[in-house]
């Protein structure tokens, strides 16, 4: 039985190794020859470092990406390169951290900045590897595409300077969203366009037409409008929203808590995002965040939920209401106070805030280490503190020990002198004792002489 069990484990290990090798076969290991051989193909490349923990976590996902892309018949080739071994090539592609995912198409290199999941990476590669602007030939195709995309940008019309600008913006922002074009007869009948050509965004069950005079630069408008009006906000979403220049109004709630306070605040944010779009959409992005852990670390504060916070991701300032938000009127008033400058801004990126951030991050790191592994925390922080304490003790007591030594030496010298003086007194005593003895001999001599005279 033991032998059979051993054979089973060996067979299982061999099978697992075979599966891993098979998965890795869909991902090519790239070397320095890649630079000269890549331009005829489209490559999705993971630049990694062998020691990087995030790279190791991405590796099985990357193998799945390779398998999925190969099976789909896509022309994209998937590879990975050790950026530490081929640092000159990695530098040419602008690799600054690990892992870095890039899609290379001809002379162009597109950075992937989304979540590191198989579906998100594949969706990015399919979007960027295709044409910058995809043509929709029929209403059926338009309806099919609209169902698949929550936010859809569409150019309507023929050749024009606006189309040229649209294609230029697409080359810049294709990493974030799709771009489509169609003729006027493809657009649904409910869409009313003031003039042609036009650029339209479909989202949130409605459509909005780009107006150069009101919306400014086309690239900035598309960058602002590429998000839905209301979002489930997390750390990654906040990072992306930083490019839009908008303030982010967030209801911080506990989605597991079904109390009236939590559900009402979320509803208030949603109502304002929808009903006051024309007033606030150019300056504000609305959404909610589940839990306060991330927001607490961001603000270096301890917020009591549910609450509303408005974040300025460009300068790390934030605004908190001075009273509870009970309804849409309260939230609208709070937002208007921010716009007219009467609401007090907190935080920022000044010197004191940076120092506070360093201290906060250090405390958080120490606390997390002790929480996850107390013994490791004691070793990492206790040992250096112990060494520093010993060094400080040695420095502080060095002068004292020197003074004590000098005092001891002085005492010893004084003692030697005292001993010397005492020795002299003893010698004198001895001499005094000897002198009487000498006098006794004289007396004895005189006594003998007297005796002789008597005789």
Q: What angle do CA 55, 104, 39 make, to 5 degrees?
A: 130
Tokens of 114: 């989304």
- Do 142 and 188 meet the contact criterion of CB atoms below 8 Å apart? yes
Rounded Cα distance, 300 and 303, in Å: 9
State the number of CA atoms in the 13 A half-sphere of 414 facing the CB.
6
Rounded Cα distance, 362 and 366, in Å: 6
Spatial CB neighbours of 44, under 8 Å, sequence gap ≥ 6: 65, 69, 76, 77, 78, 79, 101, 102, 103, 104, 121, 125
Strand order from edge to edge, sheet including 284-290: 230-232, 284-290, 247-253, 307-312, 317-319, 346-347
Pairing of strands 317-319, 346-347: antiparallel
Rounded Cα distance, 201 and 227, in Å: 10
What one-character-per-residue DSSP string does 235-296 give?
Answer: HHHHHHHTTTT-EEEEEEE-TT--SHHHHHHHHHHHHHHHHTHHHHTTTEEEEEEESSHHHH
Residue 52 annotated to the active site = yes
State the number of CA atoms in the 13 A half-sphere of 259 facing the CB.
7
What one-character-per-residue DSSP string does 350-401 give?
Answer: SHHHHHHHHHHHHHHHHHHHHHH-HHHHIIIIIHHHHHHHHHHHHHHHHHHH
What Cα–Cα distance (Å) separates residue 230 from each residue in 204, 272, 417?
8, 10, 94
Rounded Cα distance, 199 and 149, in Å: 17
Burial class (CB in 10 A: 0-12, 13-18, 19+), 81: buried
DSSP state for residue 30 in the 8-state scheme:
P
Closest CA to 42 of 91, 93, 96, 108: 108
Cα distance between the two ends of the chain: 134
Residue 378 annotated to the active site = no
Q: Which of 52, 378, 392, 396 is catalytic?
A: 52
Tokens of 366: 């120490």
Q: Which of 8, 55, 392, 396 is catalytic?
A: 55
SS3 101: strand
Indicate which residues carry an active-site annotation.
52, 55
């Amino acid at each position: 039985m033991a032998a059979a069990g051993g054979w089973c484990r060996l067979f299982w290990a061999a099978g697992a190794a075979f599966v891993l090798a098979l998965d890795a076969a869909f991902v090519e290991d790239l070397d320095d020859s890649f630079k000269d051989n890549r331009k005829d193909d489209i490559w999705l490349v993971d630049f990694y470092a062998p020691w990087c923990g995030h790279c190791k976590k991405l590796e099985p996902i990357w193998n799945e990406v390779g398998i999925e892309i190969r099976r789909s018949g896509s022309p994209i080739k998937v590879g990975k390169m050790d950026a530490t071994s081929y640092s000159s090539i990695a530098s040419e592609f602008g690799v600054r951290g690990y892992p870095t995912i890039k899609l290379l198409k001809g002379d162009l290199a597109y950075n992937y900045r989304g979540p590191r999941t198989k579906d998100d990476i594949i969706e990015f590669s399919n979007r960027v590897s295709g044409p910058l602007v995809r043509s929709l030939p029929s209403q059926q195709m338009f309806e099919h595409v609209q169902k698949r995309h929550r936010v859809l940008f569409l150019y309507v019309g023929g050749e024009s300077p606006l189309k040229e600008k649209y294609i230029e913006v697409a080359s810049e922002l294709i990493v974030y969203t799709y771009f489509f074009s169609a003729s006027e007869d493809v657009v649904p009948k409910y869409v009313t366009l003031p003039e042609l050509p036009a650029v339209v965004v479909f989202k949130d069950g409605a459509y909005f037409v780009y107006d150069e005079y009101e919306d400014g630069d086309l690239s900035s408008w598309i960058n602002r409008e590429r998000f839905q009006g209301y979002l489930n906000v997390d750390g990654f979403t906040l990072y992306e929203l930083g490019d839009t220049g908008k303030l982010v109004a967030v209801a911080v709630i506990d989605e597991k808590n079904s109390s009236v306070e939590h559900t009402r605040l979320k509803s208030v944010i949603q109502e304002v995002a929808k009903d006051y779009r024309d007033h606030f959409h150019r300056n504000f992005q609305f959404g909610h965040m589940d839990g306060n852990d991330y927001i607490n670390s961001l603000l270096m504060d301890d917020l009591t939920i549910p609450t509303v916070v408005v974040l300025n991701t460009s300068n790390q300032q934030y605004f908190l209401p001075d009273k509870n938000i009970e309804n849409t009127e309260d939230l609208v008033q709070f937002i208007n106070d921010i716009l007219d400058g009467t609401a007090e801004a907190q935080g920022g990126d000044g010197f004191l805030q940076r120092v506070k951030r360093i201290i906060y991050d250090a405390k958080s790191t120490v606390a997390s280490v002790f929480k996850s592994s107390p013994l490791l925390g004691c070793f990492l922080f206790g040992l250096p503190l112990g060494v520093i304490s010993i060094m400080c003790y040695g420095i502080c007591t060095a002068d004292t020990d020197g003074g004590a030594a000098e005092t001891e030496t002085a005492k010893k010298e004084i003692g030697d002198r005292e001993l010397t003086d005492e020795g002299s007194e003893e010698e004198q005593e001895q001499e005094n004792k000897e002198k009487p003895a000498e006098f006794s001999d004289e007396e004895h001599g005189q006594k003998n002489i007297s005796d002789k005279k008597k005789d």
